[in-house]
């Protein structure tokens, strides 16, 4: 039995195939990512290849050859090329800036930046993420860090919230039972001392805070093997030594690398320090929210997502 197709049907099928191929090519051919957006008193806009209208860029927006970016007044955007360690800061004077195709591949001197940048591009905010309201009453201590993470140090700083000047007891456990105890602690952090039993790679540990009248929360952490630690440290050093890369973008790349290895403790440290130095960069708050989300701190994640949204949209 022969099947007859009308000319319109054939054209529609052909158009659909071309569109699908175009979408797939776009997904594969990203040459960079926007790592920083500073609105200040202006705005930043982006026009993707084949589009007529300008639009607001998203956080960690992928860019393709032919993408145009423009900034007004004192607004700026930083574009990181995934091939190599090259960044471009777009401001009003250089607008509109057109993203060029990636240069011919040669020796990989990027220190894994392409892998890290690709991981950053894939990060998306949850569709809805609203913190639960807690009315009145005292809340139990909230264990912040290390929390459901891998570590590169065998002397982590244990951090928490909610002691409310009432002392509690910190305990660290291993597979064989209690390792270390610190009693009558009313601070918000304490370092696991070198005098305590050494943490071993690949072993799952947990820690708690015991406070009278409150349930005990237990969270886990695990130390990396020395070879893994060395590999990550070498990649971090490569990012640190990259010439011409803005400090905030360096922090974003480092945090992306660490989070991709489930090193949320270290990623949080990098992001917290970067936020202190650059509090108005929405990408930093976005990535910090992602770390909190991955470690189960939903309310803190919601706060950081909200701050990121505010900074990105306050003047757009």
Q: What is the pTM of this model?
A: 0.85
Residue 187's pLDDT band, with cuts at 50, 70 and 90, is: confident
Q: What is the mean pLDDT of the chain?
A: 84
Residue 314's pLDDT band, with cuts at 50, 70 and 90, is: low
Residue pointed to by tokens 């009003």: 92
Check residue 24 and give its pLDDT.
40
Whole-number Cα distances in Å, 114 to 65, 80, 158, 159, 245: 16, 10, 33, 33, 14
How far apart CA 302 and CA 10 sit, in angstroms, is 49
* Nearest residue to 189 (alpha-carbon basis) of 209, 205, 175: 209
Domains and CATH numbers, the chain: 29-121 (no CATH), 142-223 (2.60.40), 226-237+246-313 (1.25.40.10)
How far apart CA 249 and CA 77 sit, in angstroms, is 11
87-129 residue pLDDT tens? 999 999 999 999 998 765 544 445 566 777 777 876 777 766 6
| CA dihedral of 194, 200, 201, 203, whole degrees rounded to 10 | -130
* Nearest residue to 295 (alpha-carbon basis) of 240, 220, 233, 235: 220
Averaged pLDDT for residues 295-306: 95
**Cis ω on the peptide bond leading into residue 109 (within 30° of 0)?**
no
How far apart CA 83 and CA 85 sit, in angstroms, is 7
124-175 residue pLDDT tens? 777 666 555 554 456 778 999 999 999 999 999 999 987 666 788 999 999 9
178 phi, psi to nearest 5 deg: -65, 130
């Amino acid at each position: 039995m022969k099947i007859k197709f009308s000319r319109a049907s054939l054209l529609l099928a052909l158009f659909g195939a071309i569109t699908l191929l175009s979408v797939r090519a776009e997904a594969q051919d990203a040459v960079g990512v926007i790592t920083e957006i500073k609105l200040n008193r202006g705005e930043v806009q982006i026009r993707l290849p084949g589009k007529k209208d300008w639009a607001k860029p998203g956080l960690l927006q992928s860019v393709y050859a032919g993408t145009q970016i423009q900034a007004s007044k004192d607004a700026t955007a930083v574009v990181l090329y995934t091939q190599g360690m090259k960044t471009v800061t777009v401001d009003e004077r250089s607008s509109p800036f057109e993203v060029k195709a990636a240069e011919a591949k040669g020796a990989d001197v990027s220190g894994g930046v392409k892998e890290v940048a690709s991981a950053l591009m894939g990060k998306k905010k949850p569709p809805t993420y609203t913190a639960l309201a807690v009315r009145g009453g005292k809340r139990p201590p909230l264990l912040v860090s290390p929390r459901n993470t891998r570590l590169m140090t065998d002397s982590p700083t244990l951090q928490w919230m909610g002691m409310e000047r009432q002392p509690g007891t910190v305990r660290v456990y291993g597979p064989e039972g209690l390792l270390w105890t610190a009693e009558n602690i009313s601070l918000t952090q304490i370092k696991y001392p070198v005098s305590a039993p050494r943490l071993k790679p690949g072993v799952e540990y947990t820690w708690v805070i015991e406070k009278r009248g409150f349930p005990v929360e237990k969270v886990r952490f695990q130390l990396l093997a020395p070879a893994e630690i060395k590999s990550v440290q070498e990649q971090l050093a490569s990012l640190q030594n990259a010439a011409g890369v803005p400090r905030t973008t360096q922090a974003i790349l480092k945090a992306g690398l660490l989070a991709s290895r489930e090193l949320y403790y270290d990623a949080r440290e990098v992001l917290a320090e970067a936020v202190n130095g650059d509090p108005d960069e929405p990408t930093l708050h976005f990535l910090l929210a992602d770390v909190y989300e991955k470690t189960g701190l939903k309310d803190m994640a919601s706060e950081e997502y909200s701050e990121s949204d505010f900074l990105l949209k306050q003047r757009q």
